[in-house]
Amino acid sequence: METTSIPVKGMTCMGCVASVKRVLSSISGVTQADVSLEQARAAVTYDPALASPETLKAAITDAGYDVD
């Protein structure tokens, strides 16, 4: 397992946090997704054989948020 921290721009409320967490958790290989509105970050633990940071960032972007 690996953990990555992804900056997420555009979250304004806890509903946004829930949306980002839901989309990340639905990715195959993701075992944990912690999203912080205050820090504007998502900390994601995943299996690198099933997911990649690029996959995670694409999912966040597809959900309507920006990543660095």
pLDDT of 68 reads 78
Mean pLDDT on 29-53: 97
- Summarised one tens digit per residue, pLDDT across range 6-26 is 999 999 999 999 999 999 999
**Closest among 3, 4, 22, 30 to 65, alpha carbons compared:** 22
CATH topology of domain 2-52: Alpha-Beta Plaits (3.30.70)
CB 8 within 8 A of CB 64: no
Residue ranges per structural domain of the chain: 2-52
- Summarised one tens digit per residue, pLDDT across range 43-57 is 999 999 999 999 999
This prediction has a pTM of 0.91
